[in-house]
Amino acid sequence: MTAFDQDLGNNGAQDRILGDWIEASAQYWRQFNTALNNDTVLGQSEETLGKIARGLQKANGKTPASFLITDNGGGTGKTFTAKTTAALLGRKLFIVDSAECRDTFETRSKLLGLSRGFEGSSNGGALTNALREYPDRVILFDEIDKADESLFPIIFDLVAKGALTDACGRPVGAGCSIVILSAGPGTLERVSKALNKIYESQKFNGDGVHEKPDFLFDLEMYLAGSEQNTVLELQPLDRSALKALAQRETRSFSGTTTRLAGLSVSLSDDATEQIVGTDPLCQNPRGVLTRFFLSVKDPVARHLLSDNKQPGTLHFENLTDPPKFTPKN
């Protein structure tokens, strides 16, 4: 009998403590999943978004929980999903704009730092410094399909080894971080080939990678059309989701104007429908937010810059007519 057993009276208290911890953990991830599905990311199935909560719940602290988000077109919320995940978890977000990683020197010097002998080598790289400061960061490699091949070894070291080495040879742990990759449709074959090529090379050279990372397995499963736990394929938002986005934007904007200027903003159902629009090319989140800016935020800004400084409500009944102001009683 251990001292721990004696302290607890060896009456099953350990089992109860472990059970309570498991239940508390499960409840936390259920709440996270509910918030991600119902309150923030719109128009996606619970099965798709649930992969994030399930993957995070299984994280081992040795290698990051890793995900790839793709879609069948633009404007589905790939970047927003990553930002929301970080916000709900209360973690810092670091975004790598993969389109800016155009060659080997630029990519490695920016993310890992300059090698010894170069001026500024002691400053480190943007990514390695970010992980030293907050090892549990959410790291988003945005639009990796636009990246130079030199970015993939960095991604591989993160997802397979849970660590990076900066340009001066200093190790940086990343096992507690979360890695999210976003990519457009029809580009995942290139991503899979690039990462598998690195895996085969490191395995052959004995670079510390013996088994293929689950992330690579899941990516291959997705490309083969099989079920997997890592790749999220987001769907285009339907009209009801776009309308919910417009309503959420209205509430958020009204909260800001009420707090700063005592002016609340409201839209009728007809005005909200006009925000969503009828042009298929513009029926996406970016189109909705652009129309909201032009049709609502601009008129509100003009009202606030006018001589009328009274608190009250600015109501949009129809976007073709000027909004109606009602002063607060």
pLDDT tier for residue 73 given thresholds of 50, 70 and 90: confident
Residues 172, 137: one domain? yes
Residues 89, 162: one domain? yes
Residues 204, 113: one domain? yes
Indicate whether 55 belongs to any domain: no
Q: What is the pTM of this model?
A: 0.83
Q: Which of residues 234, 263, 285 is at a domain's end?
A: 234
Residues 226, 267: one domain? no
Indicate whether 74 belongs to any domain: yes
Residues 82, 143: one domain? yes
Residues 92, 209: one domain? yes
CATH number of the domain that residue 217 is part of: 3.40.50.300
Residues 217, 173: one domain? yes
Residues 82, 112: one domain? yes
Q: Which of residues 234, 267, 284 is at a domain's end?
A: 234
For residue 290, the enclosing domain spans 239-327
Per-residue pLDDT tens digits for 229-273: 899 999 988 899 999 999 999 999 999 999 999 999 999 999 999
When comparing pLDDT for 121 and 248, which is higher?
Answer: 248
pLDDT tier for residue 5 given thresholds of 50, 70 and 90: very low
Q: What is the pLDDT of residue 234?
A: 92
Q: Which of residues 208, 234, 260 is at a domain's end?
A: 234
Residues 252, 224: one domain? no
Indicate whether 297 belongs to any domain: yes
Within its chain, how far is the Cα of 18 from the centroid? 31
Indicate whether 179 belongs to any domain: yes
How many distinct structural domains can be found in the chain? 2
* Nearest by Cα to 326 from 312, 310, 308, 309: 312
* Nearest by Cα to 134 from 91, 164, 85, 171: 91
Residues 163, 215: one domain? yes
- The answer, yes or no, to whether residue 182 has pLDDT greater than 90, is yes
